[in-house]
Structure 1
């Protein structure tokens, strides 16, 4: 099945102040392995990390990675949302993320493939604590 990746307009509804709400940060390399994500009601395997991916931040390094609920290094807590597509690569890179003062469409967010409803609710609360409003848009 073919599905088109999100565009930023599928995710970002508003920014309080564009140069403040989004920021370039260091994102870890993804090691060349496929990433399993939930998109709508389906699980897909991706060869890139796409706009709308919910990110955690490794406390010790400050590096952002896709949310990983099995870790205990800070990356299990939702901290930002990826605002651009990234190819899977072993190298760290700079990427623009939605970090604060913004509203996002819940339907445009990309979650880990194994996330539960309770975990997603907790992650949304973490994003909202960072000033990112997660809104359901019809």
Structure 2
């Protein structure tokens, strides 16, 4: 592959994986800045008091705002969110990383923990969205 965009585009063919590229970083800049703002106690207090009003202070897209309010972390990753920044949102909600990430897999916390304790997802199975192999 001679083109960087072609090279990075190949990552979109990995099922269930979202590689955080420069394009995603640009797309999610304000979303991630919002999430990082929750590192400050006073911002967490304001966020918890009125989530919608706090979100309206950030120049995010409507899709990003709706995904934040729904706590749809997979959608937030698609919209440029960085999981490490988004962790500030679920931490503010009182969720551990394990609890939040398990919601992204369709597994219970116990199932997800057992899978990770056993070494993570198997490399066997569907490895390409386009080729379905």
Q: Scaled by the length of structure 1, what TM-score is found?
A: 0.27
Structure holding more strand per residue: 1
Structure holding more helix per residue: 2
Mark the structure with the bigger radius of gyration: 2
